């Protein structure tokens, strides 16, 4: 049990006012679920960031008493000027959104998919960072795009899992 909790999720921009109303109600009347212990806060912070057409909402609470475990955390990464390191950070951000939303049964926004695939195509132009993996990676990215374009969530999940495995193999050797 902890006295800190974090809510972090992607929502539509139109859902933001409802999220904030629910938060206000939880603080005023007591909350449950993701807002449990909100009324018992010592301090809290709320942020919202527009990313690839979705709003990433994050609320951090520190309560006076212990609360249940927080939902899974997702790290957001700011977009930086193009170099290999910033390209990888941007890919991490879009890939995380793709995997999180697809595993939640939601089709990710086209902007996130386009960002990831564009960055993936750019990444394979960098020499000396896993060139021997680039062919297989590019083929899997093509399968991911095909699955996304068809709206095939199962094929998308399979492709994202395979890309995560490939990333693990490559990063184990080059990071």
CATH of residue 57's domain is: 3.30.70.860
Does residue 60 share a domain with residue 32?
A: yes
Residue at which a domain ends, from 35, 67, 99: 67
Q: Does residue 29 sit in the same domain as residue 55?
A: yes
Please check whether residue 139 is in contact with residue 94, taking contact to mean a CB–CB distance below 8 angstroms.
no
Co-location of 28 and 96 in the same domain: no
- Same domain, residue pair 11 and 46: yes
State the pLDDT at residue 147.
Answer: 96
Distance between CA 30 and CA 76 in Å, rounded? 29
Q: What angle do CA 60, 63, 68 make, to 5 degrees?
A: 80
* Most confident of the ranges 121-125, 130-134, 152-156: 152-156
Cα distance between residue 33 and residue 145, in whole Å? 35
Is it the case that residue 73 has pLDDT exceeding 70?
no
Strand, coil or helix: what is 130? coil
The count of domains in the chain is: 2
Looking at the fold, whether 89 and 160 belong to one and the same domain comes out as yes
Provide the pLDDT confidence category of residue 109 given band limits of 50, 70 and 90. Answer: very high
My answer on whether 42 and 92 are in the same domain is no
The whole-model pTM stands at 0.58
Tell me the mean pLDDT in the region 130-159: 94
What is the band of 74 on the pLDDT scale with cuts at 50, 70, 90? Answer: very low
Same domain, 16 and 45: yes
Region 82-95 average pLDDT: 86
SS3 label, residue 27: helix
Strand order in the sheet with 54-67: 2-11, 54-67, 41-51
Q: State the residue range of the domain holding 93.
A: 84-174
pLDDT at 3 over 80: no
């Amino acid at each position: 049990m902890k006295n800190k909790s974090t809510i972090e999720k992607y929502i539509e921009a139109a859902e933001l006012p409802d999220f904030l109303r629910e938060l206000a109600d939880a603080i005023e009347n007591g909350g449950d679920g993701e807002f449990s212990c909100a009324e018992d806060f010592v301090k809290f912070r709320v942020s919202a960031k527009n990313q690839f057409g979705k709003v990433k909402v994050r609320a951090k609470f520190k309560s006076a008493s212990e609360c249940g475990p927080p939902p899974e955390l997702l790290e957001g990464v700011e977009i930086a000027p193009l170099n290999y390191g910033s390209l990888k950070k941007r890919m991490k951000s879009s890939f995380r959104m793709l995997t999180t939303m697809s595993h939640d049964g939601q089709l990710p926004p086209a902007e996130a998919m386009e960002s990831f695939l564009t960055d993936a195509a750019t990444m394979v132009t960098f020499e000396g960072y896993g060139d021997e993996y680039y062919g297989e990676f590019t083929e899997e990215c093509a399968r991911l795009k095909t699955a996304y374009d068809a709206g095939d969530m199962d094929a998308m999940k399979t492709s994202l899992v395979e890309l995560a495995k490939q990333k693990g193999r490559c990063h184990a050797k080059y990071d």
